[in-house]
């Protein structure tokens, strides 16, 4: 299925066929489409929604935990947290066990926002998946899971190789 440049004689990158590029473009288009909805209605952007979407079911998380879950750079997480705090959607408090550790949670306003956006996000997902039959949706889930696992494995290996060369 995947192309091996050495086997098929290709040595040029065809960007439109390059899987990381295609996945990134798709993710951006999907994120921007959904963001249009919650941006207009709730005044939050993609990074802010990702923070809210993680805090909603989790209840409370640290900024570091949110960064790990969302794969957003810590600067982007920090800016999103600051904007959400100013908007009154999240609150910060120190961990009872470690006072250096800041815990984030949704305020009542933040919970209300989360509860209003979730149905919109779920309808959006349903609409997006409507072009696929149920077997294709299931297959897509499996494919995405396997690609994520492989990507994490490759990233870990590359990081280990980088650490060894330094």
Q: Summarize pLDDT for 99-155 with one digit per residue, the tens.
A: 778 899 999 999 999 999 999 999 999 999 999 999 999 999 999 999 999 999 999
Query: Above 70 in pLDDT, residue 4?
Result: no
Mean pLDDT of the chain: 90
For 43-133, where are the alpha helices, taking DSSP H only? Answer: 46-58, 63-70, 74-86, 108-129
Domains contained in the chain, number: 2
Say if residue 77 is in the same domain as residue 98: yes
Q: For position 97, what pLDDT does the model report?
A: 79
The whole-number pLDDT of residue 163 equals: 59
Residue 83 structural domain:
14-131
- Give residue 11's pLDDT: 77
Confidence of residue 8 (pLDDT cuts 50, 70, 90): low
Q: What is the pLDDT of residue 115?
A: 96
User: Do 118 and 147 belong to one domain?
Assistant: no
What is the pLDDT averaged over residues 16-45? Answer: 92
Residues 125 and 143 in one domain: no
Say if residue 126 is in the same domain as residue 163: no
The answer to whether position 32 is within a domain reads: yes
Tell whether 123 is covered by a domain: yes
Same domain flag for 148 and 93: no
Cα angle 143, 67, 110; round to 5: 100
What gap in Å lies between CA 31 and CA 49, rounded to an integer? Answer: 10
Shared-domain flag, residues 32 and 112:
yes
């Amino acid at each position: 299925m995947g192309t091996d440049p050495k086997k098929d004689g290709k040595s040029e990158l065809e960007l439109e066929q390059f899987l990381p590029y295609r996945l990134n473009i798709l993710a951006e288009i999907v994120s921007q489409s959904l963001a249009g909805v919650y941006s207009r209605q709730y005044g939050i952007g993609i990074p802010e929604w990702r923070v809210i979407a993680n805090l909603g079911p989790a209840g409370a998380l640290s900024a570091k935990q949110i960064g790990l879950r969302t794969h957003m750079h810590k600067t982007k997480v920090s800016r999103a947290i600051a904007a959400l705090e100013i908007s009154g959607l999240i609150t910060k408090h120190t961990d009872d066990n470690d006072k250096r550790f800041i815990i984030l949670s949704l305020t009542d306003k933040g919970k209300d926002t989360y509860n209003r956006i979730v149905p919109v996000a779920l309808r959006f997902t349903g609409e997006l998946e409507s072009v696929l039959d149920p077997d294709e949706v299931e297959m897509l889930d499996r494919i995405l899971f396997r690609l994520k696992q492989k990507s994490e494995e490759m990233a870990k290996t590359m990081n280990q190789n980088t650490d060894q060369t330094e």
